[in-house]
Copies of this chain bind each other. A is one copy, B any other.
Amino acid sequence: MHGPDGIGKGKEKGDAGLRVHGGRIDLAASLYPSAPTPWIDLSTGINPVPWPVRPIPLARYQRLPLAREIAEMTEAAAACYGLPGNAVMLPVPGSEMAIRLLPRMIGLGHVGILAPTYGSHAQAWRDAGAEVRELTALPDPDRDDCKTLIVVNPNNPDGRMIARADLVAFALPWTATGRRLVIDEAFADLRPESSMLALPELPEGTTVLRSLGKFFGLAGLRVGFVAATEPDATAWRQLLGDWPVSGPACEIATAALRDINWIAATRARLASDRRRLDHLLGKAGLRLLGGTDLFRLFEAAGDTDLLDHFARAGILVRGFAGASRQYRFGLPADEAAWQRFETACARLK
């Protein structure tokens, strides 16, 4: 039975989709039609104050991106992220698609995934027919029989960080027998010194994924990067072709990656906003489990359904199918959103 305002529908059966991926504002709005608008989306780890996109010349929509333009964007990415001397940087139409292509690039066989983490990795390998093992720590390189290991670093949703020195020490014996290591650094912009791409040399057989969607707040652009050693880099280049991203996306990504002043100011702002979020949710009785400066994972004290609580206030947070008391919170975009969020937090007590 559904409540008269349709909210019951969301509670009873429809909100499972809100526990699989963030960003489903349209689903939330249909489940909670009486919620105040505009919806405040805290369900993603996307920077809500994006790099300021300027209007794009219409010609960029019309003609194919030039080889020179793709090269300039790739060089801007290498300058921003770093690039080990033995690695090649390649643009992809969103790091999500790179995640889905990985099983077809690397080939099947058992895959280990440091868990819990962003669900698309396991989904992509299962869809391709691989056997997925969820691991809680780096495996013993002498004993584990996985062919590929996937590490999201820093991790989503709990912010777990494996120190780069530990990853390198692991990677050398792991990849020496032909096994592959994939490091998803979608949230590494916040701590560039921790990135594998800041190394002078990438362990052979290691693939690093980067995203323009999170830190730069440009998820709609669908631009990411893969850094890989040969021969993997050549295989990626063949698969992705000469025009892996749209012309407007190429122009915007190049300018954003070069904007070192915006990047520095944004790191500082996100750190400050993150402290404000921690303070509010701590006051409301939630326990911080971890996170990065773009999102925080909290545990509720009791059994209150916080996804439902915040959705009734027009605020979408991220729940998890397998951990009903855990919630991930992104950052409000502006003072009006902070005020609505603060009011909803105060109602928790």
Inter-subunit contact B53/A58 (CB<8 Å): yes
Partner of A221, one of B61, B124, B127: B61
For residue A259, CB closer than 8 A to chain B, the reply is no
Question: Bound complex: CA of A53 vs CA of B94, how far in Å?
Answer: 23
Residue of B nearest to A124 (CB): B238
Residue-wise interface mask of A (235-247) relative to B, using a CB-CB cutoff of 8 A (1 in contact, 0 not): 0001111111111
Determine the distance from Cα of A220 to Cα of B64 in the docked complex, in whole angstroms.
4
CA distance A104 to B127 in the complex (A): 13
Q: A100 in the interface, Cβ–Cβ < 8 Å? A: yes
In-complex Cβ contact of A94 among B56, B218, B238, B243 (8 A): B243
Q: Are B64 and A23 in contact (CB under 8 A)?
A: yes
Residues of chain B with a CB closer than 8 A to A60's CB: 220
Stretch of A6-14, A65-73, A287-295 contacting B (4+ beta carbons < 8 Å): A65-73
Is A26 part of the binding interface, using a Cβ–Cβ cutoff of 8 Å?
A: yes
Knowing A62-B50, A67-B24, A220-B61, the reply to whether A246 touches B246 (Cβ < 8 A) is: yes
Contact B61 A26 (CB under 8 A): no
Q: Render A12-24 as a binary contact track against B, CB cut-off 8 A, 1 for contact.
A: 0000000001011
Which residues from B are CB-within-8-Å of A64? Answer: 23, 44, 46, 213, 219-220
Q: In the complex, A246→B246 CA distance in Å?
A: 8
Flag whether A189 is at the interface (Cβ < 8 A). Answer: no
Asked if A109 is an interface residue, CB under 8 A from chain B, the answer is no
Contact residues in B for A177 (Cβ distance below 8 Å)? none
Question: Is A217's CB within 8 Å of the partner chain B?
Answer: yes
Contact with B along A279-317 (1 / 0, CB 8 A): 000000000000000000000000000000000000000
B55 contacts A55, CB within 8 Å? Answer: yes
Residues of B close to A88: CB separation below 8 A = none
Residues B61 and A100 in contact, CB atoms below 8 Å apart: no
Contact of A21 among B24, B41, B96, B242 (CB under 8 A): B242
A239 → B minimal CB distance (Å): 5
Partner pick for A127 among B61, B217, B238, B249, CB 8 A cutoff:
B238
* Interface residue A97 (Cβ < 8 Å from any Cβ of B): yes
Interface: A272 (CB within 8 A): no
Q: Which B residues are in CB contact (< 8 Å) with A26?
A: 66-68
A222 located at the interface, meaning its Cβ lies under 8 Å from any Cβ of chain B in the complex:
yes
For A63-89 the 0/1 string (1 means CB < 8 A from B) is: 111111000000000000000000000
Chain B residues whose C-beta falls within 8 Å of the C-beta of A139 in the assembled complex? none
A248 within 8 A of B: yes
A101 and B239 contact, CB distance less than 8 A: yes
Instruction: Return the chain B residue nearest A24 by Cβ.
Output: B67
From B23, B97, B239, B240, contact of A63 by CB (8 A):
B23
CA distance A58 to B248 in the complex (A): 12
**A244, B62: Cβ atoms under 8 Å?**
no
Is the beta-carbon distance between A245 and B217 smaller than 8 angstroms? no
Tell me, yes or no, whether A25 is within 8 Å of chain B by CB.
yes
Apart from A96-B242, A127-B239: 11 A-B pairs, beta carbons within 8 A:
A24-B67, A25-B66, A27-B67, A44-B64, A46-B63, A50-B61, A96-B241, A219-B243, A220-B246, A221-B248, A222-B243
* 16 A/B residue pairs, CB under 8 Å, sorted by A: A26-B68, A50-B62, A53-B61, A61-B252, A62-B218, A62-B220, A63-B219, A64-B219, A93-B94, A93-B222, A97-B244, A99-B241, A100-B240, A100-B241, A120-B241, A127-B239
